Structure 1
Amino acid sequence: MECMEQKSEESMPAKLPVFHNAAVKDVKWSQQGHFLLSCGYDCTSRLIDVEKGLETQVFRQDQIVGVIKLHPDDSNLFLSEGSKGQIKLCDARTGKVVHDYNQNLGLILDVEFTMNGKQFISSSDVSQSNASENAIIVWDVSREVPLSNQVYVEAYTCPCVSRHQFDSIFVSQSNGNYVVIFTTTPPYRLNKYKQYEGHVVSGFPIKCNFSLDGKKLASGSSDCSIYIYDYQL
């Protein structure tokens, strides 16, 4: 991994020591910017002190870890998900798993906390099980139970979920070549009258996310383009 200090266009990347034994799948910054959380094909999640260049914690699993997400209010907690459909909430202070979330899911594609951090949304590959109602599930963080698995019932997987910074909604990238909108409050309703389309997903893990001011939604596309949508229209 490399870290780039944004002082000038000529800044050179600072290389961190190699801690993973296989390819890295996901990397997240801590809220304070002092640590990196990474995961990968070596079935681990690793917490790295960027300033010291030291690995401070290792979380080992029996699955390839493809997605990690830090808790919005407590940066010591993070979700870790992987190839066997297992979702775990881990504590960086103790190095232990706090909660396990099991629903016999397929490969976990993405995860996102709600604004208050009391629920999270998971997206999984249900193409092998034909259980489209499990494509997107809203979970209760503390009780380890799904609150709703009837959020999205179309016959498409969703490689990305992203929460709006200010409004009580989240969006999901669909392999149907559109981005769909849901509420983050019960009953987690699908917006049937508005979606963002024009880009192409074509089965690739295409991501989407909101701008920092929440006014724009950006999506990648399999035609090698980036599409910018006006969220407020």
Structure 2
Amino acid sequence: MDLLSAAYSATSDEDDDDLPPSFPPPATSSPPPTTSFAPPPLKRPRWEHQPHLPPPRPFLQPPLHNAAPPSSGRYVSKRERALLAASSASLLPPQTTAELDSSGAFFFAGSITDTNLRADILHSLRRQPKPGPSKSMPSKLSVSLKGHTKAINCVDWSATHAHLLASAGMDHTVHVWNVWDKGNTIARVLKHHTAAVKDVRWSLHGPSLLSGGLDCSSQLVDIVEGKVIKVFKEEQAVEVIKFDPSNPNIFLSGGSKGSLRLWDIRSGLVTKEFHRSLGAVLDIEFSADGRQFISSTDTTRSNISENTIIVWDVLRQVPLSNQVYTEAFTCTCVRYHPHEASFVAQSNGNYIAIFSARPPFKLNKYMRFEGHGVWGFPIKCNFSLSGKELASGSSDGSIYIYDYKSARPLRKIEAFKEACTDVVYHPVMPNVIASCSWAGEISVFE
């Protein structure tokens, strides 16, 4: 027994820190003894599979906190434990988490809460918006957001979580931005679409997003858990989506084949269809009471402009007028005025036209908003909270703000080097505006 004890204690304490007990002692270079006496052979160690040290985890996996040794029953050395701890601690900056779901569709980067916002922004968000025109128009760059790799089609502020902004890109992704977060402004990157995302809208049912894309689907996503709640499949690319303002369970979709459908998000089924020989639907807009909506379609295949803009009766599923706009241009955007009985249309003729929202929906031939450019880009426009100003993107990369009553230009903001595709007023702070570009950039001005 003394001889066996001496044999098993041949390794040093330092070696025990780096090698499991089942390892044989290292070989020595000293010559074998010349005497005839030989100690008994060392006990043969039982063979066990020794896995290699795992490589550092990729960035998209969650960091390891208080990582425990593997549960395979093998010995883990101090050096291996130190490497595991170091790799888990260096994955992400403080107060940031990252997660990729099993399908690779959702990337969690930062927080969606408002706990890390600038104090002045947090104070402004908690105030109720005041009626009337804003005291100052947006002019100063507040935040620049970068993350998309291709053109951005639209942006949308959350009405219930007003520090969050969503964007839909040609890079197949939807980004959720915690705009004024002092840490990481990218809150979520959603990759649930397999083709370009053309439109995105916030739902009023909690922090969830509805998006439509060229993969012939609209998808409702819970951004807290990062899960697709429901998928609405079509036989056409989805170009535009809008929630019914009178019923947040209903949304309208328009597609590349001209089909217009009302969907119920609870059942996932189509409740109404609006049939007409239309080109691709470019935009849609509900009236405030949800009884009517406007559709703008591409009529470039024909020599007539009939059906360019159609006003629909939702209940009867019939057009109230299909000869609203008779000029030989398509309209990339239509918007109802928030308070008055009128609507506007962004024309490819490089101007915004004004129409009455009451039959016979006449075009105002004596006033239009001019100065910006469209030139074939999907340029959008939007009203301010008060309806006193109308802001438009432009093919020259600038934002143009007009006085609604006179159509007089009030301000030009040079935002991007490439076309500014969308511009949206903040739902709470009237002097804040978000814009996006054909180059994949987002700028927020205040």
Quickly name the TM-score band, shorter chain normalised.
over 0.9
Name the SS for the 1:15 alignment partner: strand
Q: Report the residue type matching 1:144 in the other structure.
A: Q
Report the counterpart of residue 396 of structure 2 in structure 1: 223
Q: How does 1:153-192 map to 2 (within 5 A)?
A: 153-192=326-365
Q: Which string of whole-angstrom CA distances, capped at 9 and with x for unpartnered residues, describes residues 70-118 of structure 1?
A: 1011111111111101110111011000111111100110000112110
Report the counterpart of residue 3 of structure 1 in structure 2: 176
Name the SS for the 2:183 alignment partner: coil
Matched residues in 1 for 2:332 and 2:182: separation? 33
Matched residues in 2 for 1:120 and 1:18: separation? 30
- In structure 2, relative to structure 1, the CA distance for the partners of 1:213 and 1:23 (3 Å cut) is same
Q: Which has the higher strand share?
A: 1
Structure 1 residue 29 corresponds to structure 2 residue 202: yes
Name the SS for the 1:76 alignment partner: strand
Report the counterpart of residue 237 of structure 2 in structure 1: 64
TM-score (norm: length of structure 1): 0.96
Which of 213, 238, 249 matches 1:40?
Answer: 213
- In structure 2, relative to structure 1, the CA distance for the partners of 1:128 and 1:66 (3 Å cut) is same
Report the counterpart of residue 314 of structure 2 in structure 1: 141
Q: How many residues align?
A: 233
Q: Which has the higher helix share?
A: 2
Q: Report the residue type matching 1:158 in the other structure.
A: C
Structure 1 residue 85 corresponds to structure 2 residue 258: yes
Matched residues in 1 for 2:362 and 2:292: separation? 15
Report the counterpart of residue 379 of structure 2 in structure 1: 206
Using the TM superposition, give the Cα deviation of residue 17 of structure 1 relative to its aligned residue in structure 2, in angstroms: 4.2
Name the SS for the 2:306 alignment partner: helix
Using the TM superposition, give the Cα deviation of residue 57 of structure 1 relative to its aligned residue in structure 2, in angstroms: 0.9
CA contact (8 A) 2:240 2:282 kept: yes
CA contact (8 A) 1:109 1:159 kept: yes
Name the SS for the 2:247 alignment partner: coil
Unaligned residue ranges in structure 1 (runs of 5+): none
CA contact (8 A) 2:354 2:363 kept: yes
Q: Which string of whole-angstrom CA distances, capped at 9 and with x for unpartnered residues, describes residues 10-64 of structure 1?
A: 3331224421122211101113552100010110000111222111111000000
Matched residues in 2 for 1:205 and 1:160: separation? 8
TM-score (norm: length of structure 2): 0.51
Identity of aligned residues (%): 55
CA contact (8 A) 2:297 2:309 kept: yes
Q: CA RMSD in A?
A: 1.3
Which of 68, 79, 96 matches 2:269?
Answer: 96
Q: Report the residue type matching 2:327 in the other structure.
A: E
Matched residues in 2 for 1:31 and 1:131: separation? 39
- In structure 2, relative to structure 1, the CA distance for the partners of 1:17 and 1:114 (3 Å cut) is closer
CA contact (8 A) 1:111 1:121 kept: yes
CA contact (8 A) 1:215 1:232 kept: yes
Report the counterpart of residue 51 of structure 1 in structure 2: 224
Report the counterpart of residue 113 of structure 1 in structure 2: 286
Name the SS for the 2:393 alignment partner: strand
Q: Report the residue type matching 2:219 in the other structure.
A: R
Matched residues in 2 for 1:99 and 1:17: separation? 29
Q: Report the residue type matching 1:49 in the other structure.
A: D
CA contact (8 A) 1:16 1:53 kept: no
Q: Report the residue type matching 1:101 in the other structure.
A: F
Q: Report the residue type matching 1:67 in the other structure.
A: V
Matched residues in 1 for 2:180 and 2:205: separation? 19
Matched residues in 2 for 1:9 and 1:171: separation? 38
CA contact (8 A) 1:25 1:39 kept: yes
Range moving further from structure 2, 14-23 or 169-178: 14-23
Q: Report the residue type matching 2:274 in the other structure.
A: Y
CA contact (8 A) 2:188 2:223 kept: no
